[in-house]
């Protein structure tokens, strides 16, 4: 199999299994929250909703993991031009996360 085909298979597997894992995590969190809801009627404050939140975080992280996988693949293949591009994209994602977190921490939107 050629290089592009291997990368496409790796990315497809990451997105497929990542989506299943995130969906299952959200479903498990909701199931636990519903079981617990008889004691606390407000679902949003249930401790088990943190499990569902972790699933949402997984969904958000999937594109970043995709770029990280591409960076590792290009470095392994010694394609430094594409690795540099993937690294730059990853750096921009991380910078956006840091700046967004900093702005949220200081009450700016």
Q: Tell me the C-alpha distance between 46 and 104, whole Å.
A: 24
Where along the chain do its domains lie? 3-105
Give the residue carrying structure tokens 């995130």.
22
Percent of the chain scored above 70 by pLDDT? Answer: 84
Residue (of 39, 43, 19) closest to 29 by Cα position? 43
Give the pLDDT of residue 43: 56
- The pTM of this model reads 0.73
pLDDT in tens, 27-49: 988 888 777 666 666 655 666 67
Cα distances (angstroms) measured from residue 68 to each of 23, 35, 85, 90, 94: 21, 37, 11, 7, 11
């Amino acid at each position: 199999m050629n290089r592009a085909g291997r990368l496409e298979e790796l990315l497809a597997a990451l997105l497929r299994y990542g989506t299943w894992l995130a969906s299952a995590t959200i479903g498990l969190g909701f199931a636990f929250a519903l079981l617990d809801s008889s004691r606390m009627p407000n679902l949003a404050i249930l401790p088990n909703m943190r499990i569902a939140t972790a699933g949402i975080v997984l969904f958000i992280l999937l594109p970043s993991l995709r770029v990280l996988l591409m960076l590792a693949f290009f470095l392994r293949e010694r394609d430094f031009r594409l690795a540099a591009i993937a690294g730059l994209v990853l750096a921009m994602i991380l910078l956006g996360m840091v700046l967004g977190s900093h702005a949220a921490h200081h009450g700016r939107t």
